[in-house]
A and B are shown apart, each in its own frame.
Chain A
């Protein structure tokens, strides 16, 4: 559905703008309160491949347009992380529980940092003048991604009832008369 893809693209633009024009002003580790990558990761976990790809490319492109750092190749990096997380969520962490979402979020941050380190060092070795990305400590970034992952999971539970056990849905459906088994 194009309307949903457009909505994802719009949200990805906002996420990229947040990373570039808001989070970059924060001092120290607070600069790690970024949402572009996590937006892609949440789409990779909960939504379709088309959407996370749109999210990765759009949010990465917008952020890299307005950031001076040039070593991270953000659209490609977000894409790579989205691809790995999408693969993991379909093959290994197939159970959509709070634990799996938190694990995937933390894993995404670790993959992102690894890819960033690799990309920056390849460019340093090739002699390119780099402006490094400012980022939080790894611990802060992992905690932030886990918090975001958990929050998104709880929001899904609250508003979609997608992850409730069947018996709970049955009770809820009787009480609310809205959910069909």
Chain B
């Protein structure tokens, strides 16, 4: 009897935990992958810094506290000095504080744009891939039109349509540009799934259409989309920087953003390259972190790689 009970309990556990073990075993392998650890480390540091940046920043990023040095030296840029390890910017504001607080904007824009783009792409891709027929044609032609325009140019155009550029307009502009990428990717893998043996087998068992789409086709199609979303995070950060660089970002420069900071220092790049190098290097490292993490995540989530 006792044995029977334990068996039954085991099955109950199973019923609840079924499906979790894929994630669990993926995590087990990720922990051993140095590449993932580097990517995740960069991402974690970046996320923590950007969340805590208002408290970590030694000074108010909008306060022109070194303006006297700028005026005195006739538009000279304040050099690194005690209390200001990276010096000041063109307006005499503490550069380190601006870098720190700038990471927050980058994170908000990157994550926000990716999530919205992903959601839109998932909806369109599922519609096209699962329903097919004329829905597929309409969605895919729309996607083709969007993809035929250069991504940055499209993002600029969308951002420029807003009467007042803001953080929100940047997010919307970038996410719209990402939608077709996700949609086409998901549709492709959904189509492959639709013709697969296990979907035919599920159909032969009378499984309902909704369950076939959401339980059998979608989870098997998500692998590439997950990778894409981390790669898109990296692109979104770069594109946000580009928009801000060109003045289509948040005009309020009391709220710094790395791309905007890059744009501000164009004129003095020859003489003070560090003002451009710091934000540029940060953008690159953060983008790299997300990319490394995404790539290893995909490998780990592929059930065929499980040991």
- Chain B binds chain A: no
